[in-house]
Amino acid sequence: MYIQKILWTGLFALVFLALCTLPVLAYASDATNWYTQGNLLMKTKNYTEAIAAYNEAITLSPEYYEAWNGKADALNRAQRFSDALAASDKTLSLNPQYVQGWINRGYILYNLGRTDDELKAYETAISIDPSSPDAWFNKGYFLAGMKRYDEAIMVFDKVKSLDPNYPNLAANRRIAEQSRDAATPWYSKNALTLGIIALFSVGAIAWFLSVRKKY
């Protein structure tokens, strides 16, 4: 009887521990419906109604960090950048490991002109999930925009290694290469050729002077 009691106590403890460690699997059903509605409205660029839909989801489930992120995105697209950043703050306070939340925060910070913080947002997303092609692509896009073309090309190559079919990857890499080449001075691009010409010229002059001395 004593052994049986111990076994039941142990089983209860295991079940309780499992329940405590399980993630929240679902929000209120009505909240998820509003969230889905918000996503559909985003696709049609109806940002005002999308914001309202996300607000409904958040009202029903205040911990719904995906809905907060959707709201941040909608506010950003509606050019309400300060409000978007506040919604992003809430998103990441609820789930600091949410990769898409950090990427979206980068978009918002770009519109606020906070480029250093924008890069940090993408790098945070990468540190959380190094296999995220979205996080890497946005870092590459940022670097190209800052005219750091060689770094951007390296990052775009990383994206290709993660997802060879990533949308618009080849075009953006090509633009980065073209921009780098256009920004490189002609003498830098032809340094090897110019060096060979210079050596040949010096050699020719030295030969001419040595021959002249003989006569």
In tens, the pLDDT along 79-131 reads: 999 999 999 999 999 999 999 999 999 999 999 999 999 999 999 999 999 99
Distance CA 84, CA 97 (A): 19
What is the distance in angstroms between the CA of the first residue and the CA of the last residue of the chain?
123
- The architecture (CATH level 2) of 28-129 comes to Alpha Horseshoe (1.25)
Local confidence band at 60 (pLDDT 50, 70, 90 cut-offs): very high
**How confident is the model over 168-200, as pLDDT tens digits?**
999 999 999 999 999 866 555 555 665 566 566
What are the extents of the domains in the chain? 28-129, 149-210
Query: Are 74 and 51 contacting, i.e. CB atoms less than 8 angstroms apart?
Result: yes
5, with CB counted inside 10 A (0-12, 13-18, 19+), is exposed
Distance, C-alpha 203 to centroid of its chain: 54
**DSSP H helix total and E strand total for the chain:** 12, 0
pTM value is 0.75
Token code pair at residue 127: 């540190």
Local confidence band at 26 (pLDDT 50, 70, 90 cut-offs): confident
